[in-house]
Amino acid sequence: MVLSFRFDVVSLAPKAFEPLYNLGVVGRALSSKKIAELHIHNPRDFTNDRYRKVDDEPYGGGAGMVLKPEPIFKAFASIPFYERRRVLMMTPQGKQLQQNDLQRWSTHNDQLVILCGHYEGFDERVRTLADEEVSVGDFVLTGGELPAMVIVNGVVRLIPGTLGAEESLLEESHTDLLLEHPHYTRPADFRGMEVPSVLRSGDHLAIASWRENQRQLRTKQRRPDLYAKWLEKGKSSKSK
């Protein structure tokens, strides 16, 4: 029986992940080891030469260096195998990360293995290890560590026991394509900007209706692409 969710990250920069332990509920979840645990595997520890060399010149010439396959494969082979495991490769060529990916991994898996690239990227043969190639956006970073930390953060907060009030996950932005509604707290009037009266009315049905309308309006204004997908999803549901 799996007691906690396991993350195994193959990275040349193990210290890059230390800040995760200082991120509130996510840090507490990782530190407790009862909800999730994080293990970092440095390919340099799986080299055979005195310089711990993990890169080499690309065949065919060109600028930059390429990560050698041997240290990556050896680091990967050292990782304990969970039956419900998913292997992710961080690459700008991958499918762009979505909230439903985080939900899928947190629900259907007990282990994520994350491969972080550097330099000009991986030797192409390393791709055979991955179940999915993932990108956090159409841009290039110096390594896959920041994207990997995004995934660890996003998945951990969805694991039961991480958040004190798990119902807060239900109406988050991107959970059902719509963005989240506006939030207010005291004071009711701040520099002439007042909290909408409906939120102070105590009428829970009216509040729920206002929040739903705001979600639709905000999505339509800020993310028309998501709004169009939401409308299409509604049409598909009605046609079934």
CATH number of 171-239: 1.10.1270.20
CATH architecture of the region 5-156:
3-Layer(aba) Sandwich (3.40)
Q: Give this prediction's pTM.
A: 0.88
Q: Of how many residues is the chain composed?
A: 240
User: Mind listing the pLDDT tens digit of every residue in the chain (240 residues)?
Assistant: 677 999 999 999 999 999 999 999 999 999 987 999 999 999 999 999 999 999 999 999 999 999 999 999 999 999 999 999 999 999 999 999 999 999 999 999 999 999 999 988 999 999 999 999 999 999 999 999 999 999 999 999 999 999 865 555 555 556 788 999 999 999 999 999 999 999 999 999 999 999 999 999 999 999 999 999 999 988 877 776
What pLDDT is recorded for position 163? 87
What pLDDT is recorded for position 214? 96
What pLDDT is recorded for position 33? 79
DSSP lists the bridge partners of residue 190 as 193
How far apart are alpha carbons 102 and 233 in whole angstroms? 20
Question: Of the candidates 20, 13, 9, which has an alpha carbon nearest to the alpha carbon of residue 143?
Answer: 13
How far apart are alpha carbons 114 and 82 in whole angstroms? 14
What pLDDT is recorded for position 235? 82
**Contact criterion met (CB below 8 Å) for 209 and 181:** no
Only one residue has tokens 């959970």, namely: 175
Q: Where are the domains of the chain?
A: 5-156, 171-239
